[in-house]
Amino acid sequence: MSETVERFAPSPTGHLHLGHAYSAILAHDAARRAGGRFLLRIEDVDTTRSRDSFVQAMYDDLHWLGLSWDGAVIRQSDRRAVYEAALAELEARGLVYACTCSRKDIQAVATAPQEGGEVWPVYPGTCRGRARPEGAAPYALRLDMARALDALGGAETVGRFGYNEISDAPGAGQGRHVLDAADLVATAGDFVLSRKDGVIAYHLAVVVDDAAQEVTHVTRALDLASSTPVHRLLQALLSLPTPIYRHHRIIRDSAGKRLAKRDAATSLVQLRRAGATALDIRQRLGLG
Name the band, by pLDDT with cuts 50, 70 and 90, for residue 96. Answer: very high
**Calpha distance 190→1 (Å, rounded):** 37
Domains of the chain: 1-78+252-288 (3.40.50.620), 80-213+225-240 (3.40.50.620)
**Calpha distance 197→195 (Å, rounded):** 5
By the 10 Å C-beta count (0-12 exposed, 13-18 middle, 19+ buried), 75 is classed as middle
pLDDT at position 260, please? 64
Torsion on CA atoms 10, 41, 232, 84, rounded to nearest 10: 110
First to last CA, the chain: 30
Contact yes or no for 247/225 (Cβ under 8 A) = yes
Q: Is 71 left (phi over 0), alpha (psi -120 to 50) or beta?
A: left
Question: Does the pLDDT at position 117 exceed 50?
Answer: no
Cβ neighbours for 122, distance < 8 A, ≥ 6 positions apart: 109, 110, 111, 112, 186, 187, 188, 189
Question: Does the pLDDT at position 150 exceed 50?
Answer: yes
pLDDT at position 65, please? 97
Model pTM?
0.90
Question: Does the pLDDT at position 68 exceed 80?
Answer: yes
pLDDT in tens, 219-249: 999 989 999 999 999 999 999 999 999 999 9
pLDDT in tens, 159-180: 999 999 988 766 556 788 999 9
Contact yes or no for 21/10 (Cβ under 8 A) = no
Distances (CA, A) of 37 to 11, 40, 166, 209, 243: 21, 10, 19, 15, 14
The identity of residue 90, as a single letter, is: L
Question: Does the pLDDT at position 195 exceed 50?
Answer: yes
